[in-house]
C-alpha cells in the first residue's frame, strides 16, 4: 500500500508540473513580440493590416452620407462616426465612395463623387501621418510602452499603402475611369472644411 501511495504521489507531481509548464498562445501574439517583450512593430503592422483593418473596411461610412451629416449635424456626426487617439480637435473617419477620375496628378487623384458631383482628392504619392491608424479605431494606445513604437505602426501602415496598394493602381488609372475607394480622412472639428477633403487610400479599384 505504501508503495502504491508513493507512485500515486509521484504521478500527481508529474501531472502538476507538466500542466503548469505548457501553455498555448495565439500565433500572431508570438510573432508580434520579440524575446525581450518589446513589440515587433513590423509583425504587428502586418497582422493588424491583414487580420483587423481589411476585414473592418465594410463598416466604413459612405463619404456622401458623411458629408451630408456633417452639414446638418456635425456634433453628433463626430461623436458617432469619428475616432481619435488623443484629445484635441483633429478627428478621423473611415470612408468609402465611388466616382469618376477627373484628373490624375503627380501627387494625387481628383475624383468627382458619383452622387453629388463633389470633388475630393486621393493621396497617391506622399502618404504620411496617422489617419489610417487612428481612423480605424482598432488600436489601443496602451498596448505600447512608448510613443516611438506606436508611431512606427503608422509608418508601417503607410509603407504598405505606398508599396502594395498604390503602384498597380497608379500604373493603370486614367482620367475618366470609374473607381471605388475606401480610406481615411482627417477633419478638424473646430474648423470644419468640407471643400478640401483628402483621402488616404486603403483599397482602390478601377471599375472602368
Helix H or strand E segment including 62:
strand 61-62
DSSP secondary structure letters along 101-157? EEEE-SSEEEEEETTT--EEEEE-S---SSHHHHHH----GGG-SSHHHHHHHHHHH
pLDDT at 166: 97
**What pLDDT does residue 13 have?**
56
Residue 134's CB is within 10 A of a number of other CB atoms, namely: 24
Domain boundaries defined on the chain:
39-206
Contact residues for 144 (Cβ-Cβ < 8 A; gap 6+): 39, 150, 153
- What distance, in Å, lies between the first and last C-alpha atoms of the chain? 85
Q: What is the largest CA-CA distance in the chain?
A: 91
Question: Distance between CA atoms of 166 and 149, rounded to whole angstroms?
Answer: 25
What the block records as the C-alpha cell of 151 is 508611431
pLDDT for the residue numbered 24: 46
Mean pLDDT by 10 residues, the chain (208 residues): 60 53 48 65 96 96 95 95 89 97 96 90 94 94 88 96 97 96 96 94 94
Homologous superfamily (CATH) of 39-206 is Envelope glycoprotein gp160, DUF2291, alpha/beta domain (2.40.50.420)
Query: What distance in Å separates the CA atoms of residue 101 and residue 110, rounded to the nearest whole number?
Result: 6
Amino acid at each position: 500500500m505504501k508503495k502504491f501511495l508513493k507512485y500515486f504521489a509521484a504521478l500527481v507531481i508529474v501531472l502538476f508540473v507538466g500542466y503548469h509548464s505548457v501553455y498555448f498562445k495565439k500565433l500572431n501574439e508570438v510573432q508580434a513580440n520579440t524575446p525581450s517583450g518589446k513589440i515587433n512593430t513590423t509583425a504587428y503592422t502586418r497582422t493588424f493590416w491583414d487580420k483587423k483593418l481589411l476585414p473592418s473596411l465594410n463598416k466604413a461610412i459612405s463619404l456622401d452620407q458623411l458629408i451630408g451629416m456633417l452639414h446638418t449635424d456635425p456634433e453628433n456626426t463626430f461623436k458617432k462616426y469619428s475616432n481619435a487617439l488623443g484629445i484635441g480637435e483633429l478627428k478621423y473617419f473611415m470612408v468609402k465612395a465611388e466616382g469618376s477620375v477627373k484628373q490624375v496628378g503627380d501627387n494625387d487623384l481628383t475624383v468627382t463623387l458619383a452622387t453629388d458631383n463633389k470633388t475630393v482628392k486621393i493621396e497617391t504619392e506622399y502618404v504620411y501621418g496617422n489617419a489610417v491608424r487612428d481612423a480605424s479605431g482598432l488600436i489601443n494606445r496602451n498596448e505600447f510602452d512608448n510613443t516611438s513604437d506606436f508611431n512606427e505602426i503608422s509608418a508601417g501602415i503607410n509603407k504598405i499603402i505606398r508599396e502594395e496598394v498604390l503602384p498597380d493602381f497608379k500604373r493603370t488609372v486614367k482620367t475618366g475611369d470609374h473607381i471605388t475607394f475606401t480610406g481615411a480622412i482627417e477633419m478638424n472639428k473646430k474648423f470644419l472644411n468640407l471643400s478640401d477633403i483628402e483621402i488616404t487610400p486603403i483599397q482602390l479599384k478601377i471599375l472602368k
